[in-house]
Amino acid sequence: MFDLLQEYIDQDRIRLDRTIHTGRTTYHDPCNYGRRSQQLFGHGYFEEGRAITRACCPDFVDMQPPGADNYCCGAGGGLWSMPYAAERVFHGRLKARQIRETGARLVIAPCHNCRDQILRSLNREYELDIEVKYLWQLVADSLAGPS
Amino acid sequence: MTYTFRVSALAAEFGVHRNTIRNWIRNGSLPARPGPGRQYVMEWEAYRALCERYGRSPRPGTDRVKDPAMLQQMAGKADLPPVFLGRRSPTFTESPAWIESCLACGSCAAACPISGVDGLDPCRIIRMALLDLEEELLATDWPWKCTLCGRCEESCPMAVGIVGFMRHIRSLRDRERVPGPIHSGVTTCLERGNNLGIPEQDFLALLDDLGRELALSCPGFTVPVDRYGARLLVTINSKEPFTEPDSMKWWWRIFHEAGESWTIASSNWEGVNWGFFSGDDEAMRTIVGRMVDNLQRLNCSALLLPE
Ligand code: SF4
Ligand code: SF4
């Protein structure tokens, strides 16, 4: 996914309009694309998603801690579909705090599961009042059309 | 058995001069050979014969490692029944997670965002496994409340494969007792090609409708189903056609803009492998195998798993 989007950008096959998402934006590192990928395949996708997000959003701020130390959204491991809602929301308290501290109005999540947890659960439970987009949704919404 | 001595000590023992001992060694009447640290070694029999010749008794204890009376006394104190060590159950140790190298340092427990929830704690889980508290561990819901996020593993100084191990414990759960719908999703996927059991006809009709809608803003757009030779095979998260079909259009708009050669398979298009979460390796393999089949059948060169 990251390699594909980056390829389109690098080869100028898509052009991104940076005037659409001007609000403060942050990026969530999904555990499987980052830590897990690093463990299993020797490469963690940390920087790629940020680079693509930055290419769309001029006001980008990282959560603390970012990258390999980042917190799980709380719904990993299939928890989004399991009957442990209290544990899932409790786990997500750290993610909610991280998001709040960035002051971002838009959170980019490159994973279905994380996006659902942040948008549909944490946003409400912790009154974050944020917008959440998939990475590819951000790119699609930033398409500038042919030059 | 041997008798080890210094020349001076043996000379004192037998009341002769040191040089006498040295002469005996040199002319072979005392069959001793040089040993470590300026000592000499001879067979215990030779020492006994020397004692006999000089009418002396061997120094006490030199004919044995320990005095029998003392051994008797010690054995009496250690009067234990035979102890069988038993073997660690292979249930946990067969997992290649290196749990045996755990130091019990607790770093993982400190790094885990839900340590303490219902007594869950990765360090405790590893220790219980090592102590063979198998039944107790399998009875908990801890591995299901853990999100497999890997923060524990990241902090572990011994690189214990904690996440893989959690998943291994999940795999030991009776399939009927897997929490929530993930196991039934796996079963549905195996039977009907996607986790939610969406029939092929409905799926294809939906793609067609959505494609037409998108063509209004992207002239000439159609959804390429089963297009042989496309570069990219795109899998779908079944929740999208089921609950938010319009969200599939984001990728499609990008493909259209980038002039990508892509396709969706008409069957077995599911991109979410719930066997990963339920700890079902067999199902996971089957589902991955189907993706590979689609890649080969349609002669695609890359796979997109937007999950
Ligand atoms: S993988 Fe599980 S045990 Fe480890 S830190 Fe995450 S939630 Fe805790
Ligand atoms: S961090 Fe590693 S070594 Fe330390 S207790 Fe946890 S598993 Fe054991």
Residue type, B150: G
Span B8-19, pLDDT tens digits: 999 999 999 999
Q: Is the pLDDT of residue B63 over 70?
A: no
Domain containing B121 equals 97-173
Q: What are the tens digits of pLDDT across the range B231-257?
A: 999 999 999 999 999 999 999 999 999
Average pLDDT over residues A58-79: 92
Per DSSP, B179 falls in state S
Domain for residue B125, yes or no?
Answer: yes
Q: Which residues of A83-122 are buried (b: 16+ CB within 10 A; e: fewer)?
A: ebeebbbbbbbbbbebbeebebbbbbbbbbbbbbbbbebb
CA of A60 to the centre of ligand 1 (A): 28
Per-residue pLDDT tens over the stretch B172-223? 999 999 998 999 999 999 999 889 989 999 999 999 999 999 999 989 999 9
pTM of the model: 0.78
Residue B42's beta-bridge partner residues? Answer: B3, B32
Residue A68 domain flag:
yes
Mean pLDDT of the residues in chain B: 90
Q: How many domains does one find in chain B?
A: 3
Residue reference for tokens 């929301």: A89
Report yes or no: A17 at the B interface, CB cutoff 8 Å: no
Say whether B306 and A140 touch across the interface (CB within 8 A).
no
Question: What's the CA-to-centroid distance between A121 and ligand 1, angstroms?
Answer: 20
Contacts of B247 (CB under 8 A, 6+ apart): A134, A137, B240
SS3 B302: strand
Cα of A62 to nearest chain B Cα, Å? 18
CA B155 / ligand 1 centre spacing (Å): 11
Q: How far is residue A67's CA from residue B27's CA, in Å, rounded to a whole number?
A: 82
Same domain, B156 and B252: no
The residue in chain A having the minimum alpha-carbon distance to the alpha carbon of residue B234 is: A1
User: Are B113 and B203 members of one domain?
Assistant: no
- B269 & B300 share domain: yes
Answer yes or no: is the ipTM higher than 0.90: yes
A vs B: CB pairs below 8 A: 119
What is the phi/psi pair of residue A133, to 5°?
-130, 150
Query: What residue owns the CA closest to ligand 1's atom 7?
Result: B146
Q: List the one residue out of A53, A61, A139, A50 whose CA is nearest residue A99.
A: A61
Distance CA B111, CA B291 (A): 36
d(CA A127, nearest CA chain B) in Å: 20
Nearest to B147 among A1, A72, A141 (CB): A72
Q: Which residues lie with the beta carbon below 6 Å from any ligand 2 atom?
A: B 102-108, 122-123, 126, 155-158, 160, 162
Q: Which residue among B60, B83, B106 closes a domain?
A: B83
For the stretch B127-165, pLDDT in tens is 999 888 888 999 999 999 999 999 999 999 999 999 999
Number of neighbours of residue B292 by Cβ within 10 angstroms: 11
Strands B302-304 and B232-234: parallel
Residue A16 in domain: no
> What does the pLDDT look like over A83-116, one tens digit per residue?
998 989 999 999 999 999 999 999 999 999 999 9
A57 found inside a domain: yes
Is residue B184 in a domain? no
**Among the bound ligands, the one closest to the CA of B123:** 2
Query: Is A12 within a domain?
Result: no
Instruction: Please write down the HEC assignment for all residues of B63-96.
Output: CCCCCHHHHHHHHHHCCCCCCCCCCCCHHHHCCC
For the CA atoms of B146, B151, B155, B158, the dihedral, rounded to the nearest 10 degrees, stands at: 50
What span, in angstroms and rounded, lies between the C-alpha atoms of B67 and B44?
Answer: 16
Q: Give the nearest partner residue to A35 out of B154, B179, B181, using CB atoms.
A: B154
Nearest CA owner, ligand 2 atom 7: B102
Q: Which ligand is nearest to the CA of B126?
A: 2
Pair B217, B264 in one domain: yes
Average pLDDT over residues B34-40: 89
Residues 6+ apart with CB under 8 A from B286: B190, B275
Taking the CA atoms of B270, B276, B281 and B285 in sequence, report the sign of the dihedral they define. positive
Average pLDDT over residues A74-82: 91
Q: CA A72 to CA A35: how far, in whole Å?
A: 10
Measured in angstroms, the CA of B190 and the nearest CA of chain A are apart by 18
A126 found inside a domain: yes
- Contact status, residue B148 vs residue B167, Cβ threshold 8 Å: yes
Range of A48's domain? Answer: 2-6+22-142
**In chain B, what percentage of residues exceed pLDDT 70?**
97
How do residues B91-100 score in pLDDT, each as one tens digit?
A: 877 777 888 8
B150 lines ligand 1 (CB under 6 A): yes
Q: Above 90 in pLDDT, residue B62? A: no
Is residue A11 included in any domain, yes or no? no
Instruction: Compute the half-sphere exposure of residue B142: CA atoms within 13 Å on the CB side of its CA.
Output: 27
Is residue B146 within 8 angstroms of chain A, CB to CB?
yes
Distance of CA B299 to the CA centre of its chain: 37
**Ligand 1 nearest-atom number relative to CA A91:** 7
pLDDT tens per residue across span A41-52: 999 999 999 999
B189 in a structural domain: no
What CATH number is associated with residue A104? Answer: 3.40.50
Q: What is the pLDDT of residue B88?
A: 72
Of the residues B173, B206, B224, which one is the last residue of a structural domain?
A: B173
Query: Does the beta carbon of B122 sit less than 6 angstroms from any atom of ligand 1?
Result: yes
Contact A136 B304 (CB under 8 A): no
- Ligand 2 centroid distance, CA of B153 (Å): 8
DSSP assignment string, chain A: -HHHHHHHHHTTSS-B-TTS--S-EEE---TIIIIIHHHHHS---SHHHHHHHHHH-SSB---SS-GGGPPP-S-TTTGGGSS-HHHHHHHTHHHHHHHHHHT-SEEEESSHHHHHIIIIIIHHHTT---EEEEHHHHHHHHB----
Chain A residues 82-111 with CB within 8 Å of chain B: 82-84, 87-88, 90-91, 94, 111
Asked whether residue A104 is assigned to any structural domain, the reply reads yes
For residue B264, CA distances in Å to B52, B198, B237 come to: 101, 15, 12
- Single residue among B57, B83, B109 that ends a domain in this structure: B83
Query: What confidence score (pLDDT) does residue B64 get?
Result: 64
B147: nearest Cα among A10, A59, A127, A114: A114
Alpha-carbon dihedral angle through residues B181, B182, B186, B188, given to the nearest 10 degrees: 20
Q: Is the pLDDT of residue B76 over 80?
A: no
Q: Tell me whether residue A17 is in a domain.
A: no
Collapsing DSSP to helix, strand or coil, B119 comes out as: helix
- Please count the structural domains in chain A: 1
Is the residue at B200 inside a domain? yes
